[in-house]
Amino acid sequence: MRTGEAPHPHPGSRSGWAVGERERGGSSFHASRRKRHGNVFKTHLLGRPVVRVTGAEHLRRLLLEEHNLVGVSWPQSVQMILGSSSLANAIGDIHQHKRKVYAQLFSHSALESYVPRIRQVVMETVREWCAREGPISVYAESRKLTFRIAVSVLLGSSPGEEKMIDLLTTFEQLTKNMFSLPLDIPGSGYRKGIQARDRLHEYFGKVIEDMLQSDAEYSTALGILIQSSKDHGMGMSMQELKEAMVELMFAACATTASACTSLVLQLLKNPEVLTKLRTDLQIKGFQSGSATPLRLSDFCHLRYLDNVIKEVLRLQPPVSGGYRVALQTFELGGWQIPKGWSVMYSIQDTHNTAPIFQQPDIFDPDRFANDLTKGKEARFHYLPFGGGVRRCLGKELAKLILKVFAIELATGSHWQLATRTLPKMLMVPVAHPSDGLKVQFSAQFSNNTPAAEVHLE
C-alpha cells in the first residue's frame, strides 16, 4: 500500500485505526489514544501518517528485526549534517562492522582511562555552580558540562577557554539546526547547521592531523578510534574521522545533559532519596573534592546510586522514543503496517505501562533492588538506551558520567529551587524542563541541612 493511504486492519482484528490524530497533548493525549485503540495506533506528524507503538512485545519485534521489517529513518537534514559515513546513517553489514570499531571506545580499559578526566571536569563545574551568586539554568549548564567532558574524553585535554567557548557556540548551532527543513538557502536553519558542521570539521581536522603525525600512545577516545579502525581492517579516512568526532559529540552531549538535569530535578522533588544517597556515599568513604583517585571498581559496590540512576532513566528517559520506516508490509498487534510508513516506538510510554513497574509515576529507586529488569522476559520493558542492533553503544559512559555527577552533587553541595513552581517537562528534542530548571547552588551545608530543597507556594 502506498504512503498516504489508509491502512487495513488485519482480518479478524479490531474495527479501525485512530485516524486523523496529530502528535499533540503529550503523554495524556497518547494515553487516551492507547485506551481507545490499544498499543498500536495511527496518528499524524507533520501531516504524514505515523504508526505509534508501545509495549515490550511490540518493541521487541521492531528492534530485533531491523534490516528485515524496518529500517532506520533519519530526516535529510540529520543525514547531511552528520555525514554519509556516520554510524547513524550506516545500514546492514556496514553498520555492524562500524559498531565493532566504535565499541572499543567504551571497553573497560577505555572507560577506566576516562574516569580522571570526567571527575576533574565535574568537580570544576560543580564548584563553579556553587560559587555563583545567583541561580543557574541546570539544563543549559549541563549541556556545557557534557560538552566539556566530551572534548576532554575525545581529545585528552581541553583547548583554552576562549576556544572552548567558540567550539561550544558552534556545536550549539549545529544541534539547534540538526532537525530542520533541508533548504540550503542563506539564513536557513539547515544552512546554519551545515556551516557549524564545517567549522567543527576544520578544528577536528587539525587535531586529527597532529595525532596521526605524533608517536604518542592512543590513550584518548580519538586515538582509540583510530587504532580500532586499523585493528579491524577499516582504516578511517580524514573525512570519516571528522564525521565520527561530530557524531560522537552529538550523541554524548544532548542525552547526557538531559539525564543530568532530570537527576537534579528528581533529587529536588525527593529529598528523602537524596538523604539516603548521601548517607550511603558517606558510609562508603566518598567525599567531595577528595584527592583519592577514582577507579571503575569503586562504583561496583554503590548499589543504591546505581538504582537512583536507573530510576531517573526510567521515569524520564532522555529520548522518549525512536523512528523506523517499514521496509515491507507486516503485521503488528493485529494491524497491517504498510511498506514505506513511519513507525514511532515509544520508550516513555513503554516504561509508564510496563507491568513490572508498580506505581510508575512514583520515583522509587528501591524498585530496582531486586533486579526486576534482569532476564529475557523483562528486557524490553526497560530500555532507556534503546535496544536491538542500534542500542546505544555509549550507555556505560553515560552512566559513568551520571554517577560521578551524582557523587559530587550529593557529597559537596546544597541546592534549592529558585522558582515558585516546578517546571513542566518537554520531550523534544530530548527530555528537558520548560524553563531550564532554575536552581541556586551552594557549597555550604551541614549534616542537619537537607542537600536539596523545594519551596513551593
Binding residues for heme: 392
Q: Nearest-CA neighbor of 261 among 200, 316, 182?
A: 316
Neighbours of 326 (CB within 10 A): 23
Q: Nearest-CA neighbor of 59 among 295, 445, 380?
A: 380
d(CA 438, CA 140): 10
Phi/psi region, residue 165 (left: phi>0; alpha: psi -120 to 50; beta: rest), is alpha
Which residue ranges make up the annotated binding site?
Answer: 392
Q: What is the CA radius of gyration of the chain?
A: 23
Q: Is the dihedral of CA 262, 263, 267, 273 positive or negative?
A: positive
d(CA 98, CA 120): 31
DSSP state of 297: G
DSSP 394-430: THHHHHHHHHHHHHHHHHH-EEEE-SSSPPPEE-SSS
In three-state form (DSSP H/G/I as H, E/B as E, the rest C), the secondary structure along 261-291 is: HHHHHHHHHCHHHHHHHHHHHHHCCCCCCCC
d(CA 316, CA 263): 9
Contacts 24+ apart (CB under 8 A), 323-329: 323/50, 323/73, 323/74, 324/62, 324/66, 324/70, 324/71, 324/72, 324/73, 325/70, 325/71, 325/72, 325/73, 326/69, 326/70, 327/67, 327/68, 327/69, 327/70, 327/71, 328/69, 329/1
What residues have CB less than 8 Å from 5, skipping those under 6 apart? 338
Contact assessment for residue 37 and residue 44, using Cβ atoms and an 8 Å cutoff: no
Query: b/e map of 197-228 (b: 16 or more CB within 10 Å)?
Result: bebbbebbeebbeebeeeeeeeebbbbbbbeb
| Distances in whole angstroms, Cα of residue 101 to Cα of each of 106, 149, 159, 266, 346 | 10, 22, 27, 36, 29
Identify how many contiguous H helices and E strands the chain contains and give both numbers. Answer: 14, 13
The amino acid sitting at 156 is G
DSSP state of 366: G
